[in-house]
Structure formats: structure tokens, C-alpha cells
């Protein structure tokens, strides 16, 4: 069975602070993909990144960075110099070859205060 | 239109009404999905269609009836809903095993 845990239900930071959103996953498959999505108040889920299980290289995209560690089954997401527009619910998700479907975490509500 | 579109964006219906939600994807994907998102609850996968065939039905009540007439269109037919069915209904599409792209959702209120 697949499982994704986002232990942080809500996080509040002040603008320009860095913030890390945690994601821990469980799967017995050796081939899998991990994702992060952003859901702003408008409701639409916006795809941010996909990472496959064979590529542990960390990735940076502007103020966003992702730290994938197979040893701890974690795929954490850091926003540097947060902005008010980063306020949203962020979901981590997992798909494996045997499951065929995305398994979502419960999401982390990030609020960035001005 | 680009990406995944959903209509209507908002819907209010009585428990005896029949309505349909529409989803259209312009990405050339081969799989489409319906999700339900209730307040304070995780995303719930309802149905999965792959190459126009339903491949998953996650114990969804029969008052929700999906239809996939072709690879670009997905409908969710609603009848005799309950107030607890009020939620955001999201449609998504993907190429198998790849990232899913979501529509803006339909905010449904059942009175």
C-alpha cells in the first residue's frame, strides 16, 4: 500500500522568511514518482514538480527547492524568502507502477503574513 | 482553451435535482479523473478513466454517475444528492503514471 504523510497541518510565517514543508512517503515499490502541488484559494491544483525514485538530485527552481532523500523516505519542499502569494495549501503526492493512481497527502496550509 | 476546463464553476442544486458537471482536457492525455475535496478532508479519488474505460471506482455512491464519451471529455452526472455531497469537485487528466493536470473545479452546494 502507498501512503503519504504531511504532518504539518498549518504553518504561518512572516514574509521573507524561509519555510520548509515536510513530506514522508511509504511504498514497497522500487519505481515511483513523487509530486508537489499548490492549491491557492481559487481551488485549482497547480503542478509544481515531479521526481522519480532513481533521481535523488535536489532541484531548485527560483525560490523553490526540493530535497529528496530515499534513506528517510522524504521529499521536502522549501520556499526561500516567502511571499504573500505563496499562501496556499500544498500537497505532496506519490504514484507507483503497481498503484497507477496518485496518493495524496492531507496537505499543509501555508499562510504568509505581510 | 488550454489545459483542463470545467463547467460550471459553481452549482447550487436541490436534493431532487439532476445536474451534470463537465470536464474537457486539451492536452492529448489518455487518462481522466474525478476527485472530491470536502472542507478539512483530504482529496478523495472518485473515478479514473483510461482510454475511455473506467478503471477505478472508489466505492462512490450510485447517485454519482460518470461518463467518458471520448478521451477529451468527462462528465459527472448528479441525481438525488445529499447535503454532505457539497464539496469542490476536481477533474484532472494525465498520461499514464505522469503528473496530473487539474481543472479549476466546480464548487457544488446541495441544499
Please name the residue that has the C-alpha cell 515511483: A32
CA A101 to chain centre: 17
Residue A71, C-beta contacts closer than 8 angstroms, at least 6 positions apart: none
What does the pLDDT look like over B6-35, one tens digit per residue?
A: 999 999 998 888 999 999 999 999 999 999
**Do A10 and A98 meet the contact criterion of CB atoms below 8 Å apart?**
no
Residue B7 contacts A where some CB pair is shorter than 8 Å: no
What does the pLDDT look like over A15-54, one tens digit per residue?
A: 999 999 999 999 999 889 999 999 998 888 999 999 989 8
Q: Which of B42, B91, B95 to mutate to test the interface with A (most CBs of A within 10 A)?
A: B42
CA B73 to chain centre: 11
| Residue B85: DSSP 8-state | G
Closest to B102 (Cα-Cα) out of A28, A48, A54: A48
Q: Chain A contacts of B97, Cβ < 8 Å? A: 33, 95, 97, 100
CA distance linking residue B46 with residue B40, whole number of Å: 17
Statement: residue A101 has pLDDT above 90:
no
pLDDT confidence of residue A2: 87
Verify whether the Cβ–Cβ distance A104 to B42 is below 8 Å: yes
CA distance linking residue A50 with residue A35, whole number of Å: 5
Higher pLDDT, A99 or B47: B47
pLDDT confidence of residue A11: 97
In this structure, how many other beta carbons lie within 10 angstroms of the beta carbon of residue A55?
A: 11
Verify whether the Cβ–Cβ distance A46 to B100 is below 8 Å: no
Mean pLDDT of all residues in chain B?
90
**Do A22 and A28 meet the contact criterion of CB atoms below 8 Å apart?**
no
**How many interchain CB pairs under 8 A, A with B?**
46
Q: Chain A contacts of B101, Cβ < 8 Å? A: 47
What does the pLDDT look like over B99-110, one tens digit per residue?
A: 899 999 999 999
**Do B106 and B89 meet the contact criterion of CB atoms below 8 Å apart?**
yes
Amino acid at each position: 500500500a502507498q501512503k503519504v504523510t504531511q504532518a504539518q497541518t498549518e504553518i504561518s510565517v512572516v514574509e521573507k522568511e524561509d519555510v520548509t514543508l515536510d513530506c514522508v512517503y511509504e511504498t514497497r515499490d522500487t519505481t515511483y514518482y513523487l509530486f508537489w502541488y499548490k492549491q491557492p484559494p481559487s481551488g485549482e491544483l497547480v503542478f509544481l514538480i515531479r521526481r522519480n525514485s532513481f533521481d535523488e538530485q535536489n532541484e531548485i527552481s527560483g525560490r523553490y527547492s526540493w530535497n529528496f532523500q530515499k534513506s528517510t523516505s522524504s521529499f521536502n519542499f522549501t520556499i526561500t524568502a516567502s511571499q504573500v502569494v505563496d499562501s496556499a495549501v500544498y500537497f505532496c503526492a506519490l504514484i507507483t507502477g503497481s498503484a497507477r493512481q496518485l496518493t495524496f497527502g492531507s496537505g499543509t496550509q501555508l499562510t504568509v503574513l505581510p | 482553451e488550454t489545459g483542463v476546463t470545467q463547467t460550471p464553476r459553481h452549482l447550487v442544486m436541490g436534493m431532487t435535482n439532476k445536474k451534470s458537471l463537465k470536464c474537457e482536457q486539451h492536452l492529448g492525455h489518455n487518462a481522466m479523473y474525478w476527485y472530491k475535496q470536502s472542507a478539512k478532508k483530504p482529496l478523495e479519488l472518485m473515478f479514473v478513466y483510461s482510454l475511455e474505460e473506467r478503471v477505478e471506482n472508489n466505492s462512490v455512491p450510485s447517485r454519482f454517475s460518470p461518463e467518458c464519451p471520448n478521451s477529451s471529455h468527462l462528465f459527472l452526472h448528479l441525481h438525488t444528492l445529499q447535503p454532505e455531497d457539497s464539496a469542490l469537485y476536481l477533474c484532472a487528466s494525465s498520461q499514464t503514471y505522469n503528473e496530473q493536470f487539474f481543472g479549476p473545479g466546480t464548487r457544488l452546494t446541495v441544499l
